[in-house]
Amino acid sequence: MDALSEALDDARRRVVDLQAARAEVVAAAEGANSDDEHDPEGATIAYEREQLAALIAQAAESVAAAEAAIAARADGTYGICRACGRQIGAERLEARPSALTCIDCARQGR
Ligand SMILES: [Zn+2]
């Protein structure tokens, strides 16, 4: 399997794992029946849920990026920065096969 397909697989697995982890936290919270908002346990669970939701969003973004990169490879634009049109460095593509922008644009949040 190539690096891009692996990145996509990894990201998809991460989404599934994180969703399972979040489901566990939610189930545990329901079991604990902590309806007191001043309960420190309740605050921890809320924090964990937020953290997991953020990680799931990140993983979902990785899935979308890998899918976009695979589509770009199919239409021959893979490795070309979407923001400035220059070639993305080989090192960056090696470290992050699903990168759609060059390092300069990524640093500027493009
Ligand atoms: Zn660029």
Q: How far is the CA of 87 from the centre of ligand 1 (A)?
A: 8
Q: Is the pLDDT of residue 103 over 90?
A: yes
pLDDT at 36 exceeding the cut of 60? no
Is the pLDDT confidence value at 35 over 60? no
79: left (phi over 0), alpha (psi -120 to 50) or beta: left
Cα(68)–Cα(64) distance, integer angstroms: 6
Going from the Cα of 70 to the center of ligand 1, the distance in angstroms, rounded, reads 18
> How confident is the model at residue 105, as a pLDDT?
97
CB–CB of 40/13 below 8 Å? no
- What one-letter code names the amino acid at 48? E
Higher pLDDT, 106 or 31: 106
The rounded Å distance from CA 22 to ligand 1 centre is 36
